[in-house]
Amino acid sequence: MSAINPPAQSKTALLKRLPRSTGLATNLALIGLWLWLYRPVFDYLAIIFSREDFRTNQLVLLGVIGLIAVQIHKGGLRPRFDAAPHLFRPGLVLALGGSVLYLLVERFLDINTLSASLFGLASYGLLGLWLTPQRWRQGLPAVLLLIGALPFGEHMQTFIGYPMRILTATIVRDGLAAVGTTSIGVDTILILENGVSQVDLPCSGVKSLWTGLLFLIAATWLERRRLNWRWLAIAFVLAGLLLAANLARVGILVLVGQVAGWRLAAEMLHVPLGVLGFIAACAAALSLLRLVVPSNGAGLEKNESANTVAPNRSLDRPRWLAPGLAAVILIMALLYVPRPHTGLTQSPPTWNFPAGLVTESMPLKADELAWFTREGAESAERWRFTWGNLSGSMMFITSHIWRAHHRPERCLEVYGLSIDDSRTHLVNPNFPLRLVLLGNGRGYPVTSAAYWFQSAGLTTDDYGARVWADLAPRRDRWILVSIVFDEAYDPHATDMQAFFTALHRSVRANLKGDSP
């Protein structure tokens, strides 16, 4: 008997290991199909988490990954992929529903950040098939933090920053008028040519909303609080406090820098006021969060280990789930169709430039042509130019939709230039443009650039205003005029003012179908 028992015991152990190996292989195949479905997202994620102009998002991602690693080490979020998936309806609905939305977004919208967000949510829904329901619910803040590392701050600034800046400037103007200062108007607050209190993208308070929300989600996870209606109310309170802090900051800067004329003092107060307001709002939100009833500290049911989830628990693990889910994912992957590229299908317009402006066509690069085609630009042209003592290059991008336009600062950074300064310059009361001072990354100015967005009836240097203009029932044709000079010229010089004015008139004539 003693000679027979060891082989029998080895055979029994082998039979126990076989189901686990088979289950692991099946689950890996399922995950492989899932990654194939979302393969277009990875190119975007590679850009976001590798390019230097997304450094803030990369730092946020590293912080979130470190926080998740600490929590996993403490015994949370440990899926058992050697077990068969169990039928967890909330996770399954999130996985399949998010994937259907992803297919629709890719086909009709092609908004990369939205697709990446759906990938994160749907993937966490899929992960719920190998986690206990309690563990899955406790890990929701973790996936929200990972999704929050995407550049939502930039997108929020673009899409809701403009109306928030208008609202901030209006409230500040009305507040100053209430205390007897009636000479400050909305336009004066929005465009203070060389002032630190210019209500621009960073001063709209939108980026602090994104950062504050990330703080609240991280605090919720660390404090083991529940995501419920009370938590949502705290999130709204935090948003209100952050907006109020930003409103107070802008008001103080306008009083100090514009009304009192103490520009240096306003420059010194600009950053400290923002930091103090943000800290105070987050501290208040944290105090409110600690009043919320915490979730089950261990998050485990009786007789369950703190570090593992037994694969043979009394969870419903139907045999059809894995092959059925694989079939559905495969069908969705085969149904994937990206948004069609419809750009650059029209003939470029004929330009009649003013006398004195000498131009020479500069062909666009292959990647530039691909980008404009993908985003639906009607035409995109670039020239070398000379105007008296001025020289440089300029690009005109024509489109009826905002997607084909962009903020040129990002393109300039891609070419290795640093943005040393960016501010509004008024050529005349109805012609604002954006002046950008470019450096070599070591504090020395190299050259300057300018751009504006122009339609037949409006000119703006604000990308947010350009986006919101598309909400009108009838979309106008817009042209993005982007200029890079060979040197850092004085924007107030007579030849610069004349150049901007002449170019503006030529674009307006083209938009109205007239001759300049």
Tokens representing 126 are 């899929």
Angle at 510 between CA 505 and CA 513, to 5 degrees: 120
pLDDT in tens, 441-474: 665 668 899 999 999 999 999 888 888 888 777 8
pLDDT in tens, 373-416: 888 899 999 999 999 999 999 999 999 988 889 888 877 776 66
Q: For residue 187, what pLDDT band results from cuts at 50, 70 and 90?
A: low
Q: Where are the alpha helices (DSSP H) in 149-228?
A: 152-159, 161-178, 186-190, 206-222
The per-residue pLDDT of the chain, averaged, comes to: 82
pLDDT in tens, 212-226: 999 999 999 888 888
Residue 478 β-bridge partners = 399
CA 295, 301, 306, 307: dihedral to nearest 10 degrees?
-100
pLDDT in tens, 196-212: 444 444 455 677 888 89
> What is the C-alpha separation between 463 and 162, in angstroms, rounded?
8
pLDDT in tens, 109-157: 778 899 999 999 999 999 999 998 988 988 899 899 999 999 887 777 7
- Of 196 and 103, the one with more pLDDT: 103
Tokens representing 80 are 């058992």
pLDDT in tens, 226-284: 888 999 999 999 999 998 998 888 888 888 877 777 877 877 887 788 889 999 999 99
C-alpha separations of 345 from 256, 375, 397, 482 in Å = 52, 12, 13, 21
Average pLDDT over residues 36-40: 95
Q: With residue 390 as reference, give the H or E element that holds it.
A: strand 390-399
Q: For residue 192, what pLDDT band results from cuts at 50, 70 and 90?
A: very low
Average pLDDT over residues 60-76: 79
* Whole-number pLDDT of residue 191: 54
DSSP 8-state symbol, 192: -
Selection from 435, 444, 513, 370 nearest residue 193 by Cα: 435
* Whole-number pLDDT of residue 185: 62
